[in-house]
A and B are shown apart, each in its own frame.
Chain A
Amino acid sequence: MVATLLAKSSVRFYQKHPLQLLLSIVGIVLGVCIVSAVLITNSSSKKAFALSTDALYGRVNYQIVAPRNINQSDYVTLKKQFPKIKMAPIIEGYVSVNNSVYTLLGIDPFAELELARGGFAFPETIDTKLLHTMLSSDGIVLSKSELQKQQQSQTTTSNNPTYIYIEAGEASFKSPVLGSYPSSNALASQGLLIADIAYAQDLLAMEKHISRIDLLLSDEQRPAVAAALPATLKLLPAARAQQTMQAMTRGFQINLTAMSLLSLLVGAFLIHNTMTFAVLQRRELFAVKRIVGLSASSILLTVLMEALIISIIGSCIGVILGYYLSTILIQLTTQTINDLYFVLHVQQVWLSPSTIVISVLLGLGTSLLAASLSAIQAAQTNPLQARRRSAVELNVRKLLPALMLLGIVAIVLGSGIALIPSQSLLLGFIALMLIIFGYGLALPWVCLHGSRLLKKVAKFIGPVTTIATASIEHNISRTGLAIAALTIAVSSTFGVDVMIGSFRSSVDHWLASTLHSDIYISSPSNVSARADGTLNEQAIDSAKMLPNIRSFSFGRTIKVNTQFGAIDMLALQPHNNDNGEFPQGITLLNAQPEQSWQQFFSSKSVLISEPLANKHNLAVGQSLSVFTTLQGDMAFTIAGIYRDYGTSFGKLTMYREQYIKYFNDSDISAIGIKFEATEGVEKEQIVRSAIAALRDSVRSNNQAIQINANSDIHRESLAVFDRTFAVTEVLRWLTVGVAFIGIFSALLAMNLERTQEFAILRASGATKTQTFGIITIQTFLMGLIAGVLALPLGWIMSQVLIHVINVRSFGWSMQGFIQDNAISSTLLLAISSALLAGIYPAWSLSRRSIAARLREE
């Protein structure tokens, strides 16, 4: 009975205050929407990755790899030696179809039938007739769903495209489609083309070579196979390759999750704000209920039940909207994964029950936690003091010093954790969150004293400013929270801005110092992150014949196996420097770079990138085991550590002469050319003419090679950088959106509660402009306070992001600096958000009749 009455009372309150109900729900919706969108995006990427690896590996538990490719004869020898062991040769490479990157898988149908790996895309699902066709004819096979996709993109009206156009490295192929296989899971076979091994060798120019050998080995069989392998081949667990790939994106995904949790934190301020207002508005009602005999716990439960119902509605809507937001985020994150890490096809959003449950629970938990303070406040309503707003404010003010102290403790604790020398990203984020949370707790106290200071100044300005500043101080329970929410949101944009700006500038400088040649010639790569093709002799000759060449540099990019897994390696022949200086283009970070260069050129050594050194705590003088073609595992001394923003997974550079010596590979992936100016002709013109001449030459020879000016690569690299942070941009603007709603609802609530106060002012002779001015100045000052307070927090955040999170996520170090317009744009953002949020309450108040407002007493 009592419960029904209390429920009716709550329902009627919200029926009378629909905007308030809406704002409460919006706060939860936005917070949950962002978190669930990121969770869905991350889980969809992981799911797509798991499905694609399952499609490729199935039950295979080991694989044999070589530094480069495996000679086909090695497989034949092995198979003869171990006829009972199930194994299959595999060719795996990337090709381009209709400007999309596809994984081309070359298989031996008979070996696969014997291996029966159970992968989605293997011959278990391909019928025997088609298998025979694959053996007898050149062409590719794809899944039914991929075939449909190709049919849709074909201009032909035919339902069965006879050919698809494949670009592989320098060559283009018109490849017959032999047929399709029914894929039980369309997601698993996305972006996958299957061909017989011989045809795949033709497409990828891997004559008599294979990428790896997949095996199903028992524990007893493993030592015998490992022992039988020559030094140039290595037996590795298949899971290791998958773990390596997943580890690459872990940092990126944790960063996204952290950004989304920040939105939820800002959302929590909003929820607390609206719930507090709902309680404050009813303080007299609660007092009456207490007088008629309701217990404090009943009131506590009533408010918590309200919060629960509101948060259930908000969380459910949030998850639905999060699903739609994730369809946008997934495109941005997949682009980043493909740009920076590996080829991943994520075309479908994967909404798992666990993601829904986690999102809803996060929404409910945050809402209940945020509302619990308001509920306790409601339960503690003193019937005698209920009418006195000052009593409520007094209680809040009493709490502020304690919150301030708690905030300082959290900041100190967070700073301490950030300074712990660790590689743990989680600890880094805990440190960051503690600092943000601590700062948020301390903010209302700072706001109270800040507004008092402003009030003293305002007295010299005029009554409108005095009333505006006084109202901030007087309503600190609400203004403090609104300012805190805006401060955190704006500080996150400032912090992330400083981090991205510092990062971009570092990358810009790095590109300027690394791209030392005037033009670069490379074999086309289908994947931005990989440039491991091979330039043919004709292309190299064409380049060597260009006029005005001063010097060449040669690079060979391959993936090598080390004790830390597969890592990109550049075999470098730098430009000859006539003046005897050490090569430019690589910035060594260690002391005594001269010694490093001498060691690099003269001994069995490598230079390693900063991320590789940071990730594995490697230092100059230590050794790194590299799996070489000719001598198997060999220890190379680390001669130096260089700056490299190209890959976060680490990279090593070996002198090309050493590389040829140990890898027996004199191929070239890219050439860098420096030109020299001649009399009367500027270098820029020489470069442009050289590019034009080279393009003419390759076109006439029907070659497909990439020729780029230094500036083109610089520009494209920065474009990739900007794409990488596109998702961060989206998330931080959403966070600002949540904070905007927060300050809007706080101002609306506060000003609606002050309806009568404004009516008195009007009755006392204040013009409409003056009352509008009070709200505008008040919101301006709130925005100004939030903006000013956001700067130190933003700076601290940027330092943690740059020196802790970035180093632990990606291994990159950089100098943090505040960009020219960062401070002014942060202040502008805070003030404009606040002013914008104040427009409606000011307009709404100025529209209502003074007498009506006075009657509302």
Chain B
Amino acid sequence: MPDKQVVVVDAVKHHYQRGLERFPVLDGVSLEVAPSETVALIGRSGSGKSTLLNLIGGLEPIQAGEIKLLGQAIASLNDSQRTKLRRQHIGFIYQSFNLVPTLNVAENISLPLALAGVPSKLVKAKVHKLLELVSLEGRASDYPDVLSGGEQQRVAIARALIHEPAILLADEPTGNLDAQSGRQIIALLQSMVSQNKAAMLLVTHSLEVASMADRALAIEQAGLRNLSDAQLQGHVAW
């Protein structure tokens, strides 16, 4: 039942052009992510993991193939429709946290709802709840650059989940963190995703992180390959 999937990626191709030369990064990639499912994507640097995430998030134009999010073909949407889709159904988390430096913690978390025009009273209540969940109650008025990496990523997670998205696109969320902070963040992510019944597509270099997902996929030679637990054990970490 493909329509019940949160994300359907069908035979997507993508390349980058440098001068006259073409560099294919995705060549007929297909993927489905079900609600509440966590899928890990692993691969070498430059293999196309982030590109796939950006294509699903509507941040990059689709060159060939089709991507459906909640049954809607992204390619058929214009810029403002894609923006609306992101605002309502997608949450992003990045390796470098990407918090808005000019806004404090509470303001950063509230951003997706504020941009959507949700009344501030409602937003405040949600922000308060999320600050508790990510254990940053006392840091609401702090600015991002006074927080540690782990704290910044927790803010990013709260921001990604405040609008209760159907899917969370996490691009190496533990890449800038030490092992222990990384484990804490993944645990937090999984607990929050399961609370929100959201799906998660997680790009990572860490086999440990990948093994915590419901299933893991490897991007190799512009294609996707399922990895079993055994394969994961034997896989070389990138």
Decide if B226 is an interface residue (CB 8 Å cutoff): no
Question: A767 vs B60: C-alpha distance in the bound complex, in angstroms?
Answer: 15
State which residues 100-114 of B face A: CB under 8 Å.
100-103, 107, 110-112, 114
State which residues 14-39 of A face B: CB under 8 Å.
none
The proximity string for A residues 758-772 relative to B, scoring 1 for CB distances below 8 Å and 0 otherwise, is: 001111111110100
Question: A627 vs B101: C-alpha distance in the bound complex, in angstroms?
Answer: 78
Question: A849 vs B60: C-alpha distance in the bound complex, in angstroms?
Answer: 7
Contact yes or no, B60 A765, CB < 8 A: no
- Partner among B61, B86, B145 whose Cβ is within 8 Å of the Cβ of A390: B145
Given A463-B114, A851-B60, A757:B100 Cβ within 8 A: yes
Decide if A855 is an interface residue (CB 8 Å cutoff): yes
Size band of the A side of the interface? 20 to 34
Provide the residues of chain A in CB contact with B163, threshold 8 Å. Answer: 765
- Would you give the shortest CB distance from B224 to chain A, in whole angstroms? 19
The proximity string for A residues 569-611 relative to B, scoring 1 for CB distances below 8 Å and 0 otherwise, is: 0000000000000000000000000000000000000000000
State which residues 754-787 of A face B: CB under 8 Å.
756-757, 760-768, 770
Chain B residue at minimal CB-CB distance from A387: B145
The proximity string for B residues 107-133 relative to A, scoring 1 for CB distances below 8 Å and 0 otherwise, is: 100111011110000000000000000
Provide the residues of chain B in CB contact with A762, threshold 8 Å. Answer: 59, 83
Provide the residues of chain B in CB contact with A475, threshold 8 Å. Answer: 102
Contact yes or no, B79 A390, CB < 8 A: no
Decide if A421 is an interface residue (CB 8 Å cutoff): no
Contact yes or no, B145 A389, CB < 8 A: yes
Provide the residues of chain A in CB contact with B94, threshold 8 Å. Answer: 854, 857
Decide if A473 is an interface residue (CB 8 Å cutoff): yes
Interface size of B by CB at 8 A reads 37
State which residues 138-162 of B face A: CB under 8 Å.
143, 145-146, 159
- Partner among A462, A764, A851, A855 whose Cβ is within 8 Å of the Cβ of B86: A764
The proximity string for B residues 66-100 relative to A, scoring 1 for CB distances below 8 Å and 0 otherwise, is: 00000000000001100110111000101110111
Question: A470 vs B110: C-alpha distance in the bound complex, in angstroms?
Answer: 15
- Would you give the shortest CB distance from B115 to chain A, in whole angstroms? 5
The proximity string for A residues 427-468 relative to B, scoring 1 for CB distances below 8 Å and 0 otherwise, is: 000000000000000000000000000000000001110110
Chain B residue at minimal CB-CB distance from A857: B96
Question: A762 vs B87: C-alpha distance in the bound complex, in angstroms?
Answer: 9
- Would you give the shortest CB distance from B211 to chain A, in whole angstroms? 27
Question: A770 vs B94: C-alpha distance in the bound complex, in angstroms?
Answer: 22
Question: A851 vs B100: C-alpha distance in the bound complex, in angstroms?
Answer: 16
Question: A766 vs B117: C-alpha distance in the bound complex, in angstroms?
Answer: 11
Provide the residues of chain A in CB contact with B54, threshold 8 Å. Answer: 850-851, 854
Decide if B174 is an interface residue (CB 8 Å cutoff): no
Provide the residues of chain B in CB contact with A474, threshold 8 Å. Answer: 101-102
Contact yes or no, B112 A760, CB < 8 A: no
Decide if A628 is an interface residue (CB 8 Å cutoff): no
Contact yes or no, B103 A466, CB < 8 A: yes
Contact yes or no, B86 A763, CB < 8 A: yes
Contact yes or no, A466 B107, CB < 8 A: yes
Contact yes or no, B145 A463, CB < 8 A: no
- Partner among A390, A766, A851 whose Cβ is within 8 Å of the Cβ of B101: A390
Chain A residue at minimal CB-CB distance from B89: A765
- Would you give the shortest CB distance from B160 to chain A, in whole angstroms? 9
Chain B residue at minimal CB-CB distance from A770: B115
Contact yes or no, B59 A760, CB < 8 A: no
Contact yes or no, A388 B80, CB < 8 A: no
- Majority SS at the chain A contact face: helix
- Would you give the shortest CB distance from B43 to chain A, in whole angstroms? 16
Chain A residue at minimal CB-CB distance from B123: A463
- Partner among B88, B111, B116 whose Cβ is within 8 Å of the Cβ of A761: B111
Decide if B57 is an interface residue (CB 8 Å cutoff): yes
Contact yes or no, B102 A467, CB < 8 A: yes
Provide the residues of chain A in CB contact with B96, threshold 8 Å. Answer: 857
Provide the residues of chain A in CB contact with B204, threshold 8 Å. Answer: none
- Partner among A473, A766, A849 whose Cβ is within 8 Å of the Cβ of B83: A766
Given A757-B102, A764-B111, A854:B116 Cβ within 8 A: no
Decide if B50 is an interface residue (CB 8 Å cutoff): yes
Chain B residue at minimal CB-CB distance from A769: B80
Chain B residue at minimal CB-CB distance from A757: B100
Interface centre among A756, A762, A764, A770 (most CB of B within 10 A): A764
- Partner among B59, B80, B99, B100 whose Cβ is within 8 Å of the Cβ of A768: B80
The proximity string for A residues 379-416 relative to B, scoring 1 for CB distances below 8 Å and 0 otherwise, is: 00000000011110000000000000000000000000
Contact yes or no, A765 B101, CB < 8 A: no
Contact yes or no, A389 B101, CB < 8 A: yes
- Would you give the shortest CB distance from A855 to chain B, in whole angstroms? 7
Question: A466 vs B110: C-alpha distance in the bound complex, in angstroms?
Answer: 12
Question: A763 vs B117: C-alpha distance in the bound complex, in angstroms?
Answer: 16
Contact yes or no, B92 A855, CB < 8 A: no
Question: A296 vs B84: C-alpha distance in the bound complex, in angstroms?
Answer: 50
State which residues 20-53 of B face A: CB under 8 Å.
50-51
Provide the residues of chain A in CB contact with B114, threshold 8 Å. Answer: 462-463, 466
Contact yes or no, B98 A857, CB < 8 A: yes
- Would you give the shortest CB distance from B136 to chain A, in whole angstroms? 18
- Partner among B86, B87, B98, B115 whose Cβ is within 8 Å of the Cβ of A854: B98
- Would you give the shortest CB distance from B105 to chain A, in whole angstroms? 13
The proximity string for A residues 470-511 relative to B, scoring 1 for CB distances below 8 Å and 0 otherwise, is: 110111000000000000000000000000000000000000
Contact yes or no, B59 A761, CB < 8 A: no
- Would you give the shortest CB distance from B199 to chain A, in whole angstroms? 18
Provide the residues of chain A in CB contact with B143, threshold 8 Å. Answer: 390
Question: A470 vs B213: C-alpha distance in the bound complex, in angstroms?
Answer: 39
Contact yes or no, A760 B80, CB < 8 A: no
Provide the residues of chain A in CB contact with B92, threshold 8 Å. Answer: 763-764
Contact yes or no, B115 A760, CB < 8 A: no
- Would you give the shortest CB distance from B90 to chain A, in whole angstroms? 8
Contact yes or no, B59 A851, CB < 8 A: yes
Contact yes or no, B112 A764, CB < 8 A: yes
Contact yes or no, B60 A463, CB < 8 A: no
- Partner among A463, A756, A767, A855 whose Cβ is within 8 Å of the Cβ of B80: A767
Contact yes or no, A855 B50, CB < 8 A: yes
Given A473-B102, A857-B96, A763:B111 Cβ within 8 A: no
Provide the residues of chain A in CB contact with B80, threshold 8 Å. Answer: 767-768
Contact yes or no, A765 B98, CB < 8 A: no
Contact yes or no, B102 A471, CB < 8 A: yes
Interface centre among A390, A463, A766 (most CB of B within 10 A): A463
- Would you give the shortest CB distance from B166 to chain A, in whole angstroms? 14
Contact yes or no, B98 A756, CB < 8 A: yes
Contact yes or no, B101 A764, CB < 8 A: no
- Would you give the shortest CB distance from B147 to chain A, in whole angstroms? 11
Chain B residue at minimal CB-CB distance from A850: B59
Contact yes or no, A388 B111, CB < 8 A: no
- Would you give the shortest CB distance from B102 to chain A, in whole angstroms? 4
- Partner among A388, A471, A757, A849 whose Cβ is within 8 Å of the Cβ of B59: A849
Provide the residues of chain A in CB contact with B111, threshold 8 Å. Answer: 463, 761, 764-765
Contact yes or no, B145 A388, CB < 8 A: yes
Provide the residues of chain A in CB contact with B79, threshold 8 Å. Answer: 767-768
The proximity string for B residues 188-203 relative to A, scoring 1 for CB distances below 8 Å and 0 otherwise, is: 0000000000000000
Provide the residues of chain A in CB contact with B99, threshold 8 Å. Answer: 760
Chain A residue at minimal CB-CB distance from B107: A466
Question: A466 vs B115: C-alpha distance in the bound complex, in angstroms?
Answer: 11
Contact yes or no, A467 B100, CB < 8 A: yes
Provide the residues of chain B in CB contact with A464, threshold 8 Å. Answer: 115
- Would you give the shortest CB distance from A746 to chain B, in whole angstroms? 16
Contact yes or no, B86 A760, CB < 8 A: no
Chain A residue at minimal CB-CB distance from B159: A764
Q: Other than the known A466-B103, A473-B102, A763-B59, what 8 A-B pairs have Cβ atoms closer than 8 Å?
A: A756-B98, A757-B102, A763-B86, A764-B111, A765-B84, A849-B60, A857-B95, A857-B96
Closest 10 CB pairs of A and B: A765-B87, A463-B114, A474-B102, A390-B145, A470-B102, A851-B60, A851-B54, A851-B59, A850-B59, A760-B98
Q: List 17 A-B contacts (CB under 8 A).
A: A389-B101, A463-B107, A463-B110, A466-B107, A466-B114, A467-B103, A473-B102, A756-B98, A760-B99, A763-B59, A763-B92, A766-B115, A768-B79, A768-B80, A770-B115, A851-B60, A854-B94
